[in-house]
Structure 1
Amino acid sequence: MTQQHPIGTGFTAASTADDILRGIDLSGRHVVVTGGHSGIGLETTRALSKAGAAVVVGARTPDRAAVALAGIERVEVVQLDLADPASIDAFSGRYLESGRPATGSPTSAGTTRTSPPATTRCSPTASPRPPMCCSPSSWTACGPTRASAGTPYTPASS
């Protein structure tokens, strides 16, 4: 087993999303959040919007998600079922056609799983390549970290 070591961010288990984003302006940034209408995903969506980001929330039940997200600025709810490859392909296609960059993509859907369902195409070589990462830990693995929050994300070619 690999020994874990603190990375010295100054944040603790008691740090909030507002603490982490304090002083960061995400205006003009686009973020995709799966599961962004409940639990930690809702808090992520709220904090990113508060920091100025435009947030696309992928949800299996968009109507229910829209109710939960009512009143949060710069949020768009779209159909996305991560257990359905056709839904992932449709979402990816629509997002890519929109021409919007994906600055980051914290994923909150299915975070109780240790890996995505076998039917979910999450590989960087999937075609079309989903604009989101499918890892429960993607906020740190591929999303904007405090150090890179101002760095634009450029999707890899399909």
Structure 2
Amino acid sequence: MNLIMKERDQLQIELTNTNRKLARFLDHFKARLIYHINGITRLVDATKSNDKLIVSEGLYGLEKYIKHLIADMNATYKIRENQLVNICRSLNGQLHATREAMRKVMICYTKLRTQAIQPNACINDPGPTPQELIDELSWSGRSNEDYLLNLNASIMAEITKPVK
């Protein structure tokens, strides 16, 4: 039960931190948007002047400002694209690790099932414990920050610990 509560608390902390990051991002995005809208508004107002020099400078400034805005948006999207690519790579690694763990679980299951349906039904080799499978997965070069183990596997490992 402690394991579940620790996992829940950890997830709540992670959710709170994610919500804070999202709020900061939205505030920053809103401030940038207001800044750009005000800049464009000033330049558009300058184009409504009766003075041709002011109109010419306003149009030039507006064109330059919009190019800057588009470049800024492209840079922002490029950063976000790189973040998403990194997330995809991380998830792909997690997927491969999970597949390998499931393959090992299925091998153990098949061995145990084969031993259990034999006429004398004697299980000689129960295979590794779930905790050993989890430890092996953890030692495969993945840090705990990069790959959070499945809660059900952790609970199963706790439940099936040998009785002393």
Q: Same fold (TM over 0.5)?
A: no
Pick the structure with greater CA Rg. 2
Superposition TM-score tier, normalisation by shorter sequence = under 0.3
TM-score by length of 1: 0.24
TM-score by length of 2: 0.23
**Structure (1/2) with the larger helix percentage:** 2
Asked which structure has the greater RCO (Cα within 8 Å, sep 6+), the reply is: 1
